[in-house]
C-alpha cells in the first residue's frame, strides 16, 4: 500500500531559490509525492518519475499545454495521466468545447516586432554605452560615478558623450549599421548616416539621457535644500544623507534601465517607476515599475503596493523642471461613448469646446498623463501587509481617439472593401492609431498640486463642478509646499499609439439597432479574432467608435494590438476578416449553454467587459452574423494603399 501523499506548495514569489531547490530534490527522491506549484516549475526541471499532472485551468496556448502536460510519463515505466480543469470563462470553455485545438493545435513561432521605434532606440543606446564604458571605465559603477554629482566633480558622462558623439566615431556607426533593422521606416527614423539618433539621447532638454540626468539632479538638489534647512535649525539631517546615497549609489545600469534609456526584460514601451523615497534597508531592494496603462490605477493615490514584504503608498506625481505633464481636457458621451479630447495646460478654461453629443451636454474634465512616474513620501515608513489587498480603482474602457501621422513614411495604412453578397464591409488598417485610457478615481477624480505633484483622492463631499480646492500639504520629501492656495481637480490618463483596424459593418436590419447589439457584436468579433489567429484573448483590445455620435448606423468596431509596440494582430485581422467573422459566429452559437438573451463566460463575458455584462446577448450577435455570412460570394476590392 502506498503511503499517504506528502503535500508541499511551491510559491516562487515567497520562497528563496535555495528552499525551492531543496523542495525539488525531495520531490525527485519521492520524499514529497504531491507538489502544488506555479507555472515556473514547467521550465527546465527534471522531476523524475512523474505520473500525473493536474492543471487548474486551461493553459494560454498549445505550447504551454504541451510543456505542462508533457511533464508526466517521461520515463518508460510509467503511464502518463493529464487532467485539465476548465473554468467558466471564455478561454477555458472554448477549448473545453474544442479540446483538439489546444492538444494538437499549431505552435506559433516566437514573434518579435523589431520595427518598434522606442525599442530600436534603446538598443542603439545600449551599443553606444557598451562602447563608452569600454573607453571610459571610470564612469562605470554608481550613478555618482556616472554623473559626478558629489565628490571632486569633473565632467559628467552626459557631457563627455555629447563631445565624443559630436566627433561621430566610425566604430559606433559600423556597429549600429549591423544591428539596426533595415526597414525603410526605421532607417528614416534614426538616420544613421546623419547621426539623427544622437538627438534622441543627448539633445538639450529632450534627449532621454539628458532628461534622466535632470530628474536625478532635481531630487538631489531638493534633498540638499532640506538638509541645509535642517542644519541651520540644528536638527538631525542624517536621514536626508541616507536618501541621497540611495540615489547616488544606485548601479548605473539599473539607473539607465529604470529611466528607459536602456532596454530591459519585456520591452515595455511606456514605463514609469514608483520611486521609493525612504532610507530603510527594505527600500534599497525595491524597484517597482509599470506600463502607464496599469500605473494610472496601480500607482494612483490611496493605492497600496506590496513589495519586499512591505506596503508602499504612492504620494505624489514626479515632476520635471524643464517639462510639464501632458494634459488634456476630455469628455466622453454617455450615450454613444465617443471621446472628445484637446491638449491644454492645467488650468485652461473649458471654453470653445464641443458642447453636446447625441443631444446631451458633454461634461469635461482634465486628465494628466504621469509620464515622469510616481513617488512615495520620504518621511512615511512602509507598513506591513494585511490579509486583504486594497482594491484598486478601475480605469475606463480604452477609447479610440484618432489616426495620427498618416502622411508620414513611418505610417502604414490601407483601406479595402469586402463584399458579402449585397453587403459591403469597409475596413481600414493603420499602424498608428491613438488610444486613450483614463482613471477617473471611480468618478470622483483626484486633487493635485501643480507645484509639487502631491495628489489625493477627491471626496464626494466636495463640489464636483469645482476645479480647484484649497489645501495645505507637504511635498514628497516632507517639506511644506509653498502652494497653499489650490489643488486642481483631475483624472489620470494615458494615450498610446498602436496598430488598429477599423471595421464598419452594414446594419442589415433596423432590429439590430439597439443598446445590446453593438457591444455584443464587438466582443463576439474579438473572440473570433482570438480563435482565427490562435492567440491569447488578452493580446487584442477592442472598442466602439462612432464618427457621428447621433447615429448608431455609423458605428465602427475598432480592434487594436494590446501588446507593447504591436504584434501585427490588427493587420492580420484586416486580411483574415471572413475567418474572424466565421469564428465569431461559432463562439456565440450556443454551445456554452446560456440563453440567447444573455451571455456567460463561455461566450462573451470577461473580466474586462464586466460593465457590459447586463446587456451582452450572444443571440443577437449570432443572428446578425448568420444573416451576414449566408452568402457564398465574397469579393475583396482594395481601395487605397499607402506604406
pLDDT digits (tens, 9 = 90+) for 428-469: 999 888 889 999 888 889 999 988 999 999 876 554 444 556
Distance of CA 323 to the CA centre of its chain: 23
Supply the pLDDT for residue 13: 37
Q: Are residues 152 and 210 in the same domain?
A: yes
Question: Using CA atoms, how far apart are residues 52 and 327, in angstroms rounded to an integer?
Answer: 55
Which of 256-270, 475-489, 502-516, 538-552 shows the lowest per-residue confidence on average (mean pLDDT)?
Answer: 256-270
| 342 inside domain | no
Q: Are residues 132 and 41 in the same domain?
A: no
Burial annotation 420-448 (CB, 10 A radius, 16+ → b, else e): beeeebebbbbbbbbbbbbbbbeebbbbb
Q: Are residues 427 and 528 in the same domain?
A: yes
Supply the pLDDT for residue 183: 82
Supply the pLDDT for residue 410: 52
Question: Using CA atoms, how far apart are residues 53 and 62, in angstroms rounded to an integer?
Answer: 16
Instruction: Give φ, ψ of 456 to 5 degrees.
Output: -140, 160
Closest to 71 in 3D by CA, of 99, 41, 92: 41
Count how many residues are written for the chain.
643
Work out the burial of residue 224: count CB atoms within 10 Å of its CB; fewer than 13 is exposed, 13-18 middle, 19 or more buried: middle
**Cβ atoms 420, 640 nearer than 8 A:** no
Supply the pLDDT for residue 8: 40
> At 1, is the pLDDT very low, low, confident or very high (cuts 50, 70, 90)?
very low
Supply the pLDDT for residue 468: 56
Supply the pLDDT for residue 551: 55
Q: Are strands 81-84 and 271-275 parallel, antiparallel or unpaired?
A: unpaired
| 279 inside domain | no
Q: Are residues 57 and 147 in the same domain?
A: no
Distance of CA 404 to the CA centre of its chain: 20
What is the pLDDT of the chain when averaged over all its residues?
80
Supply the pLDDT for residue 619: 93
Residue 12 has pLDDT above 50, yes or no: no
Work out the burial of residue 643: count CB atoms within 10 Å of its CB; fewer than 13 is exposed, 13-18 middle, 19 or more buried: exposed
> At 282, is the pLDDT very low, low, confident or very high (cuts 50, 70, 90)?
low
Question: 436 or 38: whose pLDDT is higher?
Answer: 436
Supply the pLDDT for residue 603: 87
Question: Using CA atoms, how far apart are residues 513 and 508, in angstroms rounded to an integer?
Answer: 9
Question: Of 13-17, 601-605, 615-619, 631-635, which has the strongest mean pLDDT?
Answer: 615-619
Cell of 590: 450556443
| 274 inside domain | no
CATH, residue 53: 3.40.50.300
Question: 415 or 609: whose pLDDT is higher?
Answer: 415
Which of 325-339, 369-383, 537-551 shows the lowest per-residue confidence on average (mean pLDDT)?
Answer: 537-551
DSSP one-letter code for 295: H
- Contacts of 360-363 with C-beta under 8 Å, sequence gap 24+, read 360/333, 360/334, 360/335, 362/331, 362/333, 363/331
Closest to 505 in 3D by CA, of 521, 489, 529: 521
CB atoms within 10 A of CB 194: 9
Question: 540 or 90: whose pLDDT is higher?
Answer: 540
Q: Are residues 80 and 183 in the same domain?
A: no
Q: Is the Cα dihedral 27, 28, 34, 36 positive or negative?
A: positive
Question: Using CA atoms, how far apart are residues 396 and 608, in angstroms rounded to an integer?
Answer: 10
| 333 inside domain | no
Q: How many alpha carbons lie under 13 Å from residue 71 in its C-beta half-sphere?
A: 24
Cell of 374: 510616481
**Cβ atoms 434, 401 nearer than 8 A:** yes
Which of 16-30, 81-95, 267-281, 591-605 shows the lowest per-residue confidence on average (mean pLDDT)?
Answer: 16-30
Supply the pLDDT for residue 402: 86
Q: Are residues 125 and 76 in the same domain?
A: no
Question: Using CA atoms, how far apart are residues 270 and 256, in angstroms rounded to an integer?
Answer: 15
Question: 380 or 490: whose pLDDT is higher?
Answer: 490
Q: Are residues 124 and 96 in the same domain?
A: no
Supply the pLDDT for residue 165: 94
Residue 529 has pLDDT above 90, yes or no: yes
Instruction: Give φ, ψ of 563 to 5 degrees.
Output: -130, 150
**Cβ atoms 559, 570 nearer than 8 A:** yes
* pTM: predicted TM-score of the whole model, two decimal places: 0.68
> At 593, is the pLDDT very low, low, confident or very high (cuts 50, 70, 90)?
confident
Closest to 433 in 3D by CA, of 509, 339, 363: 339
Question: Using CA atoms, how far apart are residues 51 and 31, in angstroms rounded to an integer?
Answer: 15
Q: Are residues 204 and 83 in the same domain?
A: no
Domain boundary among 248, 266, 284: 266
Supply the pLDDT for residue 23: 74
| 395 inside domain | no
Percentage of the chain modeled with pLDDT above 90: 23
**Cβ atoms 492, 392 nearer than 8 A:** no
Give the number of domains in the chain.
3
Q: Are residues 199 and 227 in the same domain?
A: yes
| 638 inside domain | yes
**Cβ atoms 498, 514 nearer than 8 A:** no
Q: Are strands 374-375 and 316-317 parallel, antiparallel or unpaired?
A: antiparallel
Q: Are residues 73 and 191 in the same domain?
A: no
Question: Of 175-179, 265-269, 352-356, 607-611, which has the strongest mean pLDDT?
Answer: 175-179
Question: Of 84-98, 166-180, 431-445, 504-518, which has the strongest mean pLDDT?
Answer: 166-180
Return all residues near 103 (Cβ < 8 A) that are at least 6 apart: 62, 65
* pLDDT single digits (tens) 288-304: 888 888 899 889 988 88
Supply the pLDDT for residue 217: 86
Question: 460 or 591: whose pLDDT is higher?
Answer: 591
Supply the pLDDT for residue 168: 94
> At 3, is the pLDDT very low, low, confident or very high (cuts 50, 70, 90)?
very low
Strands annotated E in 74-231: 81-84
> At 150, is the pLDDT very low, low, confident or very high (cuts 50, 70, 90)?
confident
Q: Are residues 209 and 251 in the same domain?
A: yes
Q: What is the mean pLDDT of residues 202-231?
A: 84
> At 409, is the pLDDT very low, low, confident or very high (cuts 50, 70, 90)?
low
| 439 inside domain | no
Range of the domain at 98: 7-103
Domain boundary among 214, 239, 266: 266
Q: Are residues 123 and 232 in the same domain?
A: yes
Residue 42 has pLDDT above 70, yes or no: no
Which of 165-179, 182-196, 291-305, 338-352 shows the lowest per-residue confidence on average (mean pLDDT)?
Answer: 338-352
| 311 inside domain | no
Domain boundary among 73, 103, 133: 103
> At 276, is the pLDDT very low, low, confident or very high (cuts 50, 70, 90)?
confident
Closest to 48 in 3D by CA, of 70, 69, 73: 73
Amino acid at each position: 500500500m502506498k503511503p499517504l501523499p506528502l503535500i508541499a506548495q511551491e510559491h516562487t514569489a515567497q520562497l528563496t531559490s535555495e528552499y525551492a531547490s531543496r523542495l525539488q530534490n525531495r520531490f525527485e527522491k519521492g520524499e514529497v509525492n504531491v507538489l502544488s506549484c506555479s507555472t515556473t516549475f514547467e521550465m527546465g526541471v527534471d522531476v523524475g518519475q512523474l505520473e500525473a499532472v493536474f492543471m487548474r485551468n486551461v493553459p494560454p496556448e498549445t505550447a504551454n499545454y504541451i510543456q505542462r502536460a508533457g511533464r508526466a510519463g517521461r520515463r518508460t515505466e510509467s503511464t502518463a495521466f493529464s487532467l485539465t480543469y476548465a473554468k467558466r470563462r471564455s478561454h477555458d470553455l472554448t477549448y473545453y468545447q474544442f479540446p483538439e485545438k489546444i492538444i494538437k493545435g499549431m505552435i506559433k513561432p516566437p514573434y518579435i516586432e523589431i520595427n518598434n521605434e522606442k525599442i530600436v532606440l534603446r538598443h542603439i543606446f545600449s551599443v553606444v554605452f557598451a562602447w563608452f564604458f569600454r573607453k571610459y571605465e571610470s564612469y562605470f559603477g554608481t550613478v555618482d560615478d556616472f554623473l559626478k554629482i558629489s565628490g571632486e566633480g569633473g565632467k559628467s558622462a552626459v557631457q563627455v558623450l555629447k563631445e565624443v558623439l559630436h566627433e561621430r566615431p566610425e566604430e559606433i556607426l559600423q556597429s549600429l549599421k549591423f544591428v539596426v533593422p533595415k526597414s525603410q521606416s526605421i532607417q528614416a527614423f534614426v538616420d544613421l548616416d546623419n547621426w539623427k539618433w544622437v538627438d534622441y539621447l543627448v539633445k538639450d532638454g529632450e534627449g532621454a539621457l539628458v532628461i534622466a540626468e535632470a530628474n536625478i539632479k532635481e531630487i538631489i538638489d531638493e534633498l540638499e535644500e532640506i538638509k541645509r534647512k535642517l542644519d541651520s535649525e540644528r536638527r538631525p539631517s542624517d536621514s536626508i544623507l541616507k536618501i541621497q546615497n540611495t540615489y547616488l549609489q544606485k548601479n548605473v545600469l539599473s539607473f539607465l534601465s529604470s529611466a528607459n534609456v536602456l532596454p530591459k526584460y519585456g520591452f515595455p514601451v511606456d514605463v514609469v517607476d514608483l520611486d521609493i523615497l525612504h532610507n530603510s534597508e527594505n527600500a534599497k531592494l525595491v524597484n517597482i515599475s509599470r506600463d502607464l496603462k496599469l500605473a494610472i490605477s496601480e500607482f494612483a493615490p490611496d493605492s497600496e503596493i506590496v513589495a519586499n514584504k512591505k506596503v508602499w503608498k504612492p504620494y505624489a506625481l514626479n515632476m520635471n523642471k524643464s517639462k510639464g505633464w501632458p494634459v488634456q481636457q476630455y469628455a466622453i458621451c454617455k450615450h454613444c461613448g465617443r471621446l472628445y479630447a484637446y491638449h491644454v495646460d492645467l488650468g485652461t478654461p473649458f471654453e470653445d469646446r464641443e458642447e453636446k453629443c447625441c443631444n446631451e451636454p458633454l461634461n469635461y474634465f482634465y486628465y494628466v498623463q504621469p509620464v515622469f512616474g510616481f513617488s512615495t513620501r520620504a518621511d512615511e515608513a512602509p507598513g506591513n501587509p494585511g490579509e486583504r489587498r486594497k482594491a484598486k480603482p478601475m480605469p475606463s474602457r480604452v477609447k479610440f481617439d484618432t489616426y495620427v501621422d498618416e502622411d508620414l513614411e513611418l505610417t502604414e495604412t490601407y483601406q479595402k472593401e469586402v463584399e458579402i453578397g449585397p453587403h459591403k464591409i469597409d475596413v481600414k488598417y493603420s499602424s498608428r492609431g491613438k488610444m486613450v485610457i483614463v482613471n477617473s478615481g471611480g468618478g470622483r477624480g483626484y486633487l493635485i498640486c501643480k507645484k509639487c505633484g502631491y495628489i489625493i483622492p477627491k471626496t464626494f463631499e466636495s463640489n464636483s463642478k469645482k476645479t480647484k480646492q484649497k489645501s495645505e500639504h507637504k511635498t514628497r520629501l516632507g517639506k511644506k509646499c509653498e502652494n497653499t492656495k489650490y489643488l486642481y481637480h483631475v483624472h489620470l490618463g494615458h494615450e498610446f499609439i498602436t496598430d488598429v483596424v477599423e471595421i464598419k459593418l452594414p446594419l442589415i436590419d433596423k432590429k439590430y439597432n439597439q443598446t445590446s447589439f453593438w457591444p455584443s457584436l464587438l466582443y463576439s468579433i474579438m473572440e473570433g479574432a482570438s480563435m482565427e489567429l490562435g492567440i491569447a484573448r488578452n493580446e487584442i483590445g477592442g472598442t466602439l467608435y462612432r464618427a457621428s455620435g447621433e447615429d448608431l448606423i455609423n458605428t465602427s468596431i475598432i480592434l487594436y494590438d494590446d501588446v507593447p509596440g504591436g504584434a501585427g494582430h490588427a493587420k492580420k485581422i484586416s486580411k483574415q476578416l471572413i475567418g474572424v467573422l466565421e469564428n465569431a459566429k461559432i463562439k456565440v452559437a450556443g454551445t456554452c449553454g446560456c440563453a440567447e438573451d444573455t451571455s456567460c463566460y463561455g461566450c462573451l463575458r470577461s473580466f474586462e467587459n464586466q460593465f457590459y455584462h447586463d446587456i451582452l446577448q450572444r443571440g443577437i450577435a449570432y443572428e446578425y452574423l448568420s444573416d451576414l455570412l449566408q452568402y457564398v460570394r465574397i469579393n475583396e476590392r482594395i481601395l487605397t494603399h499607402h506604406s
